[in-house]
Structure 1
Amino acid sequence: MKQPFPFSAIVGQDDMKLSMILTAIDPTIGGVLVFGDRGTGKSTAVRALAALLPQIQRVEGCPVNSEKAEDVPVWVEMADKKISAAPTPVVDLPLGVTEDRVTGALDIEKALSNGEKAFQPGLLARANRGYLYIDEVNLLEDHIVDLLLDVAQSGENVVEREGLSIRHPSRFVLVGSGNPEEGELRPQLLDRFGLSVDVTSPTTIEDRVEVIKRRDAYETDHEAFMVRWKAENALVRTQIESARQSLHHLKTTDSALTDIAALCLKLGADGLRGELTLLKAARAFAAYRDDTAIGRDHIRAVAPMALRHRLRRDPLDDAGSGARVARVVEDVLA
Structure 2
Amino acid sequence: MTATALQTPPTQTRRLVFPFTAIVGQEEMKLALLLNVIDPKIGGVMIMGDRGTGKSTTIRALADLLPEIDVVANDPFNSHPTDPDLMGDEVRNAIAQNLPLTITQKKVTMIDLPLGATEDRVCGTIDIEKALSEGVKAFEPGLLAKANRGILYVDEVNLLDDHLVDVLLDSAASGWNTVEREGISIRHPARFVLVGSGNPEEGELRPQLLDRFGMHAEIRTVKEPALRVQIVEQRSDFDRDPQGFMSRYQVEQEALQARLVEAQKRLGDVTIEYDLRVNISEVCAELDVDGLRGDIVTNRAAKALAAFEGRTEVTVDDIRRVVTLCLRHRLRKDPLESIDSGYKVEKAFNRVFGVEGEAS
TM-score by length of 1: 0.92
Q: How far does the alpha carbon of each residue in 1:248-306 deviate from its partner, in whole angstroms, 9 at most, with x for none?
A: 21231122112211211211111111011001111111111112311111010111101
Matched residue SS, 2:347? helix
The Cα of 1:45 is off from its aligned counterpart by: 0.7
Matched residue SS, 1:12? coil
Matched AA of 2:88: V
Q: Distance in 1 between matches of 2:348 and 2:174?
A: 34
Find the structure with the greater CA-based Rg.
2
Q: For residue 278 of structure 1, what is the aligned residue in structure 2?
A: 298
Q: For residue 285 of structure 2, what is the aligned residue in structure 1?
A: 265
Q: Distance in 2 between matches of 1:47 and 1:7?
A: 8
Q: For residue 189 of structure 1, what is the aligned residue in structure 2?
A: 209
Q: For residue 248 of structure 1, what is the aligned residue in structure 2?
A: 268
**2:123 aligns with one of 103, 116, 119:** 103
TM-score by length of 2: 0.85
Matched residue SS, 1:85? strand
Mean Cα deviation higher: 149-158 or 172-181: 149-158
**1:220 aligns with one of 210, 225, 240:** 240
Please, what is the CA RMSD of the aligned residues?
A: 2.5
What is the correspondence of 1:90-169 to structure 2 with a 5 Å cutoff?
A: 90-106=110-126, 118-161=138-181, 164-169=184-189
The Cα of 1:100 is off from its aligned counterpart by: 1.4
Partners of 1:119 and 1:164 within 8 A in 2:
no
Mean Cα deviation higher: 216-225 or 149-158: 149-158
Partners of 1:62 and 1:76 within 8 A in 2:
no
Sequence identity percentage: 49
Mean Cα deviation higher: 191-200 or 49-58: 49-58
Matched residue SS, 1:84? strand
Give the number of equivalent residue pairs. 332
The Cα of 1:105 is off from its aligned counterpart by: 1.6
Q: Distance in 1 between matches of 2:92 and 2:130?
A: 14
Q: Distance in 2 between matches of 1:25 and 1:18?
A: 11
Q: For residue 43 of structure 2, what is the aligned residue in structure 1?
A: 30
**1:3 aligns with one of 16, 25, 29:** 16
The Cα of 1:323 is off from its aligned counterpart by: 1.4
What is the correspondence of 1:171-182 to structure 2 with a 5 Å cutoff?
A: 171-182=191-202
Partners of 2:145 and 2:189 within 8 A in 1:
yes
Structure 1 pair 22/150, CA: closer, same or farther in 2 (3 Å)?
closer
Q: Does 1:202 align with 2:215?
A: no
The Cα of 1:57 is off from its aligned counterpart by: 2.2
Matched AA of 1:67: H
Q: Does 1:72 align with 2:88?
A: yes
Partners of 1:106 and 1:162 within 8 A in 2:
no
Q: Distance in 1 between matches of 2:309 and 2:238?
A: 30
Q: Does 1:51 align with 2:64?
A: yes
Matched residue SS, 2:71? strand
Mean Cα deviation higher: 68-77 or 6-15: 68-77
Which structure 1 residue ranges, 5 or more long, are not aligned? Answer: none
